């Protein structure tokens, strides 16, 4: 009886169980998730360098390897190659490694010295349906076109050409009324006093090189000197940085810089004194020119810029802002010529202690540290921008020149070689820097203007830096001149010689020419070749006397 009830109970349980599951289906387990696609290796022409590639050829082979075989239909929209202007560049894809590597090549050659970027969007999918985990951007800069852009010339012929083409900035583009140098090629009425001093030295060079006749040069100098004497505004004998080339009225360089600029005036006087020594004829015209130059030179009240007899010179003064700019002229920088001329003045000279306390800062001007194996006697770390070694030395010959503080031949040469070695070492990794492409100084840059140097390096090379260094680094400067002219000439050579600046790293090339950058090129190449401007300026009796009074010694003093 018990057994019968047990079997009955089992039957009931069994029937209940079957009734409960009747009509139901078992849910299959979900499929495993599709793995996202990731990038594993990027190679350009067989090299793997992350996401940035410089100096690549114009038909690069780009390989991108992924974690999964790629769906071909997604490649056409996911891969996009553009240049810096946003133009889409057609590309041809192919596949390797069972479709897990995409091989790309431009459908036609890319342009030289141009930025490109390749983007891969998350629209890229695998054959299993997975999407690219995150978008990718690969940047490229194409290489320099290695072909010569112009016929090969002898070294002398090339120097002739550079001087003559650069001369045109001051001659062809000189202001039609005043004859002075425009600040830059877009300046219109704005002329520059300091750049005009450089331009005057360029005119003397142009006569010596037979680019123009002596009579032509004399006529232009009469125009310039007459304008400076009779029309241009002066402030205690000193000129402003900028003037209107027709009216002679000051154009403010900045709000409070609307009066005298003593440093710019010293560049102008350096040029005028050089011209005075060159135009040494006994005829009435050249005699009158020399007399007028002396009026201008002797009228500069250098000692007044001590501001109440302080032992330092001040850079600026304004009729309505007085000494508000409060900028003392301390060395080492581009203003050695200012102290030399202030000491050389016959009417308004300064004593030696102003030079010692103001310019030399009682010896604080000294550096004597070594950079790239070169000891630097004076100035800031690594020397500063190269115009420090150029502007004052358009007229002052540094060879064999010494005083209490330095040997100036060593100073100018080592400053330049430090600049050269810095660019050659290229610690910041800027594309294009090399032993053939160097030179940091004040110039235009993509976003404005800056004084480039090893401690302020934004990747911009200014041709004036290396080319105005010919007296100091003739071998390095000649190699660089050839590189600039033959290899980059289609980008940086133009109507008035070499344009102001460029950056291969940013694929940027200035359209500008500046008087203060063009002038040193023609003048310093001439000093390298013949010493013409050095010999003329240092032949001035007042300059010899002034430099001796400051304690300078040199073979020419």
Give the model's pLDDT for residue 264.
Answer: 98
| Contact assessment for residue 70 and residue 131, using Cβ atoms and an 8 Å cutoff | no
Higher pLDDT, 2 or 404: 404
Which residue ranges form the domains of the chain, and what is each CATH number? 39-142 (2.60.40.1220), 155-549 (1.50.10.140)
3-state SS class at 70 = strand
Distances (CA, A) of 94 to 99, 103, 118, 185: 9, 5, 16, 50
Q: How far apart are CA 219 and CA 286, in angstroms?
A: 10
Nearest to 512 by CA among 461, 460, 410, 443: 443
Q: Report the pLDDT value the prediction gives residue 40, as an integer from 0 to 100.
A: 84
Nearest Cα residue to 202 out of 242, 159, 171, 175: 171
What is the reported pLDDT for 29? Answer: 66
Closest CA to 425 of 458, 384, 454: 454
pLDDT over 80 (residue 4): no
Q: What share of the chain is helix, strand, coil (3-state, %, to 5)?
A: 40, 20, 40
Q: What does the pLDDT look like over 46-79, one tens digit per residue? A: 999 999 999 999 999 999 999 999 999 999 999 9
Angle between helix 214-230 and helix 193-208 axes, rounded to 10 deg: 160
Burial 247-269 (b: 16+ CB within 10 A, else e): ebebbebeebbbbbbbbbbbbbb
pLDDT of residue 31: 60
> What's the confidence (pLDDT) of residue 12?
37
Beta bridge partners of 261: 316
Task: Determine the pLDDT at residue 30.
Answer: 62
Q: What is the pLDDT of residues 299-352, one digit of tens each?
A: 999 999 999 999 999 999 999 999 999 999 999 999 999 999 999 999 999 999
Residue 9, pLDDT above cutoff 90: no
Confidence of residue 20 (pLDDT cuts 50, 70, 90): very low
Q: Does residue 245 register a pLDDT over 50?
A: yes
pLDDT at 14 over 60: no
Question: Using an 8 Å Cβ cutoff, are 230 and 297 in contact?
Answer: no
How high is the pLDDT of residue 87?
97
Residue 1: the pLDDT is 39
pLDDT of residue 196: 98
DSSP state of 475: H
The pTM for the full model equals 0.92
């Amino acid at each position: 009886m018990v057994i019968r009830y047990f079997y009955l109970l089992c039957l009931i349980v069994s029937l209940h169980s079957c009734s409960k599951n009747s009509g139901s289906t078992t849910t299959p387990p979900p499929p495993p998730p599709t793995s996202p696609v990731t990038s594993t290796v990027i190679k350009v022409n067989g090299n793997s360098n992350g996401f940035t590639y410089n100096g690549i050829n114009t038909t690069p082979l780009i390989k991108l390897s992924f974690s999964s075989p790629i769906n071909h239909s997604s490649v056409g929209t996911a891969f996009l190659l553009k240049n810096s202007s946003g133009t889409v560049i057609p590309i041809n894809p192919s596949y390797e490694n069972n479709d897990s590597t995409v091989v790309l090549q431009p459908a036609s050659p890319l342009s030289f010295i141009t930025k490109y970027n390749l983007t891969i969007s998350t629209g890229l999918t695998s054959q299993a349906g997975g999407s690219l985990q995150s978008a990718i951007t690969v940047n490229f800069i194409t290489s320099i076109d290695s072909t010569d852009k112009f016929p090969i010339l002898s070294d002398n012929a090339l120097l002739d050409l550079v001087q003559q083409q650069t001369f045109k900035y001051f001659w062809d583009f000189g202001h039609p009324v005043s004859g002075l140098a425009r600040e830059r090629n877009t300046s219109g009425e704005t002329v520059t006093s300091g750049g005009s001093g450089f331009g005057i030295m360029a005119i003397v060079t142009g006569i010596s090189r037979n680019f123009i006749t002596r009579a032509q040069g004399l006529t232009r100098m009469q125009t310039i000197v007459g304008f400076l004497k009779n029309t241009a505004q002066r402030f205690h004998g000193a000129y402003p940085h900028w003037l209107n080339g027709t009216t002679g009225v000051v154009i403010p360089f900045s709000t409070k810089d609307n009066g005298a600029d003593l440093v710019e005036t010293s560049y102008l006087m350096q040029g005028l004194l050089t011209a005075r020594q060159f135009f040494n004829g006994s005829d009435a015209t050249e005699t009158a020119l020399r007399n007028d130059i002396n009026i201008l030179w002797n009228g500069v009240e250098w000692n007044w810029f001590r501001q109440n007899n302080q032992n330092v010179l001040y850079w600026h003064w304004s009729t309505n802002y007085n000494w508000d700019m409060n900028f003392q002229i301390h060395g080492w920088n581009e203003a050695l010529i200012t102290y030399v001329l202030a000491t050389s003045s016959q009417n308004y000279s300064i004593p030696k202690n102003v030079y010692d306390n103001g310019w030399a800062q009682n010896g604080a001007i000294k550096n004597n540290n070594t950079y790239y194996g070169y000891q630097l006697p004076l100035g800031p770390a690594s020397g500063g921008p190269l115009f420090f070694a150029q502007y004052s030395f358009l007229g002052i010959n540094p060879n064999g020149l010494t005083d209490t503080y330095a040997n100036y031949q060593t100073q100018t040469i080592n400053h330049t070689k430090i600049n050269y070695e810095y660019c050659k070492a290229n610690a910041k990794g800027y594309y294009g820097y090399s032993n053939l492409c160097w030179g940091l100084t004040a110039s235009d840059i993509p976003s404005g203007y800056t004084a480039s140097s090893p401690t302020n390096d934004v990747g911009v090379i200014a041709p004036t830096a290396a080319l105005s260094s010919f007296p100091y680094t003739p071998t390095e400067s000649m190699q660089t001149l050839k590189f600039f002219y033959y290899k980059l000439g289609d980008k940086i050579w133009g109507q008035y010689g070499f344009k102001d600046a460029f950056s291969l790293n940013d694929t940027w090339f200035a359209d500008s020419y500046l008087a203060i950058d063009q002038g040193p090129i023609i003048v310093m190449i001439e000093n390298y070749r013949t010493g013409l401007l050095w010999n003329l300026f240092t032949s001035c009796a007042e300059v010899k006397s002034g430099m001796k009074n400051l304690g300078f010694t040199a073979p020419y003093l």
